[in-house]
Amino acid sequence: MLTQSTAVAAALAGFGFSLSLIIALGAQNAFVLRQGLRREHVLPVVLFCASSDAILIFFGIFGLGALLQLVPWLLGVIRWGGILFLIGYGIFALRRAFKPEVLNTDEGGSRTSLKLVMLSIAAITWLNPHVYLDTVMLMGSVATSYAENRWWFGAGAASASFAWFFTLGFGARFLRPLFAKPLSWRILDVVIALIMFALAASLAFGAM
């Protein structure tokens, strides 16, 4: 029998568990942070990230994790596609770090098209095998332990994604004084490049 208290408990558990997985300086969070600092296409980016997380969470609860276990080569295709993209994006981040004309916090400065930004965040989100291992398989397996309350667990987890990405994207503006100097942007882009290369290396070693 589903009670309000057990539903709320499951939702809170999902919220906390989801935050524990997504609050880390990974490729996706680094990208959202940079867009937030530039005040560039922030709303579509955070909506895309949060909605993608929600879709993956409920796919995990629905049983996509079991499908990936039955078709392991699919995760391999995603893995190597992600490796190639992470290396390429890391190279672009390094190029940005050594091109001061694009390292500008002014809204009138050099801007990236919405299409390119969305293609980039889509690749970072959906070509990362860790998102399927963590968000789909791990989240799905934990959710099943809540039986009939698993959908409430999923709702809490999805809410955490929306709360996190909106806070990161729109809260980044408070760091703008720090990034008023080109040196700060250089450092951020170098850090982003290192994150991309490290993730690509970890995925490649994991495939061997």
CA distance 143 to 147: 7
pLDDT in tens, 175-202: 888 777 778 778 888 887 887 788 778 7
pLDDT in tens, 40-80: 999 999 999 999 999 998 888 877 656 666 776 766 776 77
**How many residues in total does the chain contain?**
208
- For residue 92, report the phi and psi dihedrals to the nearest 5 degrees: -65, -40
CA distance 68 to 97: 38
CA proximity to 13, closest of 144, 137, 130: 144
pLDDT in tens, 136-187: 777 777 777 677 888 898 999 999 999 999 999 999 988 888 777 778 778 8
CA distance 3 to 39: 43
Is the whole model's pTM more than 0.85, yes or no?
A: no
DSSP H helices in the chain? 4-22, 27-38, 42-62, 64-70, 72-97, 114-126, 129-131, 139-144, 150-171, 182-207
